[in-house]
Chain A
Amino acid sequence: MTEGRPLIEATGLVKRFGSFTAVDGIDLSVRAGEAFGFLGPNGAGKSSTMRMIGCVSPVTAGELRILGLDPARDGPAIRARLGVCPQSDNLDPELTVAENLTTYARFFGIPRKVARARAAELLDFVQLGERAGSKVEPLSGGMKRRLTIARALINEPEVVLLDEPTTGLDPQARHLVWERLFRLKQRGVTLVLTTHYMDEAEQLCDRLVVMDAGRIVAEGSPRDLIARHSTREVVELRFLAESQEVFVDKLAGIGSRVEALPDRVLLYVDDGDAAVATVHDRALSPASVLVRRSSLEDVFLHLTGRTLVD
Chain B
Amino acid sequence: MVALVLPRLISFEGPVRRSMSVAERNAAALRSAYWLVMISGFVEPVVYLLSIGIGVGGLVGDLTLPSGAVVDYAAFVAPAMLASAAMSGALAEATFNFFGKMKYMRLYEGMLATPVRPFEIALGELAWAMVRGSLYSAAFLVVMVALDLTTVGRALLAFPAAVLVGFAFGSLGMAFSTFMRSWQDFDLMGSAQFALFLFSGTFVPAESYHPALRWLVEVTPLYRAVDLIRGISIGTDEVLGGLIDVGYLLLVTAAGLVIAGRRMTTLLCK
A76-B113 in contact (CB<8A): no
Is chain B's interface secondary structure helix, strand, loop, or mixed overall?
helix
Among the listed A56, A77, A90, A102, which residue makes an inter-chain contact with B106, where contact means beta carbons less than 8 Å apart?
Answer: A90
Q: Which residues of B contact A45 (CB under 8 A)?
A: none
Question: In whole angstroms, what is the CA distance A95 to B269 when docked?
Answer: 24
Shortest distance in angstroms between A79's beta carbon and chain B's nearest beta carbon?
A: 5
B21-A109 in contact (CB<8A): yes
Question: In whole angstroms, what is the CA distance A76 to B113 when docked?
Answer: 9
Q: Which residues of A contact B262 (CB under 8 A)?
A: none
The B-contacting residues of A in range 56-104, CB under 8 angstroms, are 56-58, 75-77, 79-80, 82, 84, 86, 90-95, 99, 102-104
Q: With A95-B29, A107-B21 as known contacts, state yes or no: A76 contacts B14, CB within 8 Å.
A: yes
Question: In whole angstroms, what is the CA distance A50 to B24 when docked?
Answer: 29
B103 contacts the other chain (CB 8 A):
no
Shortest distance in angstroms between B30's beta carbon and chain A's nearest beta carbon?
A: 9
Which listed segment binds A: B114-122, B216-224, B230-238?
Answer: B114-122
Chain B interface size band reads 20 to 34
The B-contacting residues of A in range 93-134, CB under 8 angstroms, are 93-95, 99, 102-104, 106-109
Q: Which residues of A contact B114 (CB under 8 A)?
A: 79-80, 104, 107-108, 155
Shortest distance in angstroms between B5's beta carbon and chain A's nearest beta carbon?
A: 21
The residue of chain B having its C-beta at the shortest distance from the C-beta of A102 within the complex is B28
The residue of chain A having its C-beta at the shortest distance from the C-beta of B104 within the complex is A93
A99-B112 in contact (CB<8A): no
The B-contacting residues of A in range 211-225, CB under 8 angstroms, are none
A54 contacts the other chain (CB 8 A):
yes
Interface membership of chain B positions 146-158, coded 1 if the CB is closer than 8 angstroms to chain A and 0 otherwise: 0000000000000
Q: Which residues of B contact A56 (CB under 8 A)?
A: 109, 112-113, 268-269
A94-B105 in contact (CB<8A): yes
Q: With A106-B24, A107-B18 as known contacts, state yes or no: A93 contacts B105, CB within 8 Å.
A: yes
Question: In whole angstroms, what is the CA distance A99 to B24 when docked?
Answer: 11
B244 contacts the other chain (CB 8 A):
no
Q: With A57-B270, A58-B269, A93-B105 as known contacts, state yes or no: A103 contacts B113, CB within 8 Å.
A: no
Question: In whole angstroms, what is the CA distance A106 to B80 when docked?
Answer: 39
Interface membership of chain A positions 238-264, coded 1 if the CB is closer than 8 angstroms to chain B and 0 otherwise: 000000000000000000000000000
Q: Which residues of A contact B270 (CB under 8 A)?
A: 17, 57
The 4 A-B residue pairs with the shortest CB-CB distance in the complex, in nearest-first order: A107-B114, A76-B115, A94-B29, A106-B21
In the assembled complex, 11 residue pairs joining A and B whose CB atoms fall closer than 8 Å, in A order, are: A79-B113, A91-B110, A92-B25, A94-B29, A103-B21, A107-B22, A107-B111, A107-B114, A108-B115, A109-B18, A109-B115
